[in-house]
Amino acid sequence: MSAITSFEVLDNRISRAGGKPTVLEALWDGDTNGWFLIVSLYTEIGTLFSKKQEVLQLGTVSFGGDIRLFTGEVPAWPEAALMKEWGQKASEKYGLTFYFPSEEPDDDCPDWTRRHLAIHCADCNKLMMKPDSPYLPKDICYPCHLKREQNDRIIKASPCDGGVTLYMTKDDSSRQISYCTHFKDFTIAPFVNDFVQGQLQESEISIVTLGREELIALKGQLETAIEVMLQAYKPPVIEARMKRFVSVYSMTYKDHSYDLMDRSNREHDQLGGLLYAHENVEVAIAGEQVYQFFFKKGITYRDDSMLRFVNYAKEGKTERKEIHERYKGMLTPAEVDETLMKLQKIGCVAVDNDEIRMTPLGQCIL
C-alpha cells in the first residue's frame, strides 16, 4: 500500500475513489518497522433504492524507520497529529465522517463496521474491542493499562535503578556512547569489571570514571582480544534465503578492513563489538577524554518521572507549581516537594526559589 504523504495526496485518492465518500477511517497497525496508520474510505454507490457500501484502502501514513524518542512525557506520534488535521480537512470538503478512534498506537480499536461491538475505555473513553487476554483488565485499553501501571509505580515510588549509562566526557561536555540494562552487558565490562566494582559507592548516583591510564590499559586488552578473534576471522557467507535479512558492513582495524555480517553470526557480532569499543577508546584517548559510568541506586519511578517531566516536557526548566499541577491527584503537594528536595540533594536539579532546572548530572541519568 502506498504512502500518503500530504493532504493533496489523500484528497486526490478520495476524489478518484468513485461513489459518495461517507467515512474516512484511520486505524493503527504495526510491523517490525514500527507503527503506522492504515487509511480507508467507505463510499456509497448506487441510487436511493439500491445503495451499496464499499471500502477502499487509500494508503498508509507513517514516519516509519524513525527512531522515536521515548520520553514518557512528550507525545511521540506526529502521524496522529497530521492525520487529525487531514481528516478534518477531508471531512469539511466532502461532508464525510472522519473516524479515528485512537490518537496513540493501538491495534485493538474496531473498524467502522464493527464499532457497535466495541466498548468505551473507562479511562480515555476511546472505542476499543474487549481484550481477550485474561491478564488484562476488561474495561480499559492497553495504552491506558500501561499508563495506570506507570502511575502506580510513581505513586508507590517503586525502585527505578535499572540501566547503566556510559559517557565520554571532557570538561563540561559529554556524549553518551552506550546504555545497558546491566553493567555486565557492556562489551568492555569483562575488562574493567574489577576496577569499576572497586570504585562503586553506596549513593543514589555513583559515577565511576575511567581516566587516561585505565583507558590505555583497556585499549591494550581490547587489542589482545581482537587479535585472538582475527586469527579465526572468516569473511561473511550469507545463505540465499537469509540475504533479505542480513547485511554486511566494514570495520577498519590497524589499516585493514574487515567485512562483518550485521546479524546471525556470533563471531562477527563479538568482533564488531570489540572493534567498535576499540574505536571509541582510541577517540577518547586522542581527545584526552575520559569514560564515565553512571549507576543508580535508590532512584525511584517518582524521581525518574519528575526528571523526565522537567527535562523533556518543560525543556529543562519549570516552576514548582507546574510540577504540582502535573502530579495533581496522584501525589500530594508534600510528596512533590519532598521528591524535589531529594533530586536537589543528589544534584539532579537546581532549585532557585520556585524555579526548577535540570542539571547536567540529572540529564546524565535519564
Q: Which residues bind Zn ion (CB under 5 A)?
A: 121, 123-124, 141, 144
139 vs 335 by CB, closer to Zn ion: 139
Least gap, CB of 103 to Zn ion (angstroms): 11
Residue closer to Zn ion by CB (options 108, 303) is: 108
Task: Tell me the C-alpha distance between 325 and 156, whole Å.
Answer: 19
Smallest gap from residue 71 Cβ to Zn ion (A): 20
Nearest approach in angstroms of CB 65 to Zn ion is 27
Q: Which is nearer to Zn ion, 123 or 223 (CB)?
A: 123
Phi, psi for residue 355 in degrees, rounded to 5: -95, 130
Position 64, amino acid: G
In sequence order, what DSSP letters do the residues of 190-252 get, joined into one string? HHHHHHHHHH--SSSEEEEEE-HHHHHHHHHHHHHHHHHHHHT-------GGGTTT--EEEEE
Query: CA 192, 195, 198, 204 torsion: positive or negative?
Result: negative
- For residues 121 and 299, which CB has a smaller minimum distance to Zn ion in the complex? 121
Q: Which is nearer to Zn ion, 10 or 144 (CB)?
A: 144
Minimum CB–partner distance for residue 146 and Zn ion (Å): 10
Minimum CB distance to Zn ion smaller for 118 or for 217: 118
Which residues have CB under 8 Å from 356's CB, separation 6+? 310, 317, 318, 319, 320, 323, 340, 349, 350
User: Which phi and psi angles does 10 have, rounded to 5°?
Assistant: -60, -45
Distance CA 177, CA 221 (A): 19
**Residue 66 Cβ vs Zn ion, minimum distance, rounded to whole Å:** 24
Torsion of CA 156, 162, 168, 169, to 10 degrees: 30
C-alpha cell at 42: 467507505
Closer CB to Zn ion, 126 or 326, in the complex:
126
Are 80 and 74 in contact, with CB atoms under 8 Å apart? Answer: no
Smallest Cα–Cα separation from 189: which of 210, 173, 172? 210
Which helix (H) or strand (E) segment is 44 a member of? strand 34-45
Q: CB of 79: closest distance to Zn ion in angstroms?
A: 19
Based on CB atoms, which residue is closest to Zn ion, 147 or 357? 147
Q: CB 111 → Zn ion: shortest distance, Å? A: 18
Closest CB 105 distance from Zn ion, rounded Å? 12
Query: Is the Cα dihedral 272, 278, 283, 284 positive or negative?
Result: positive
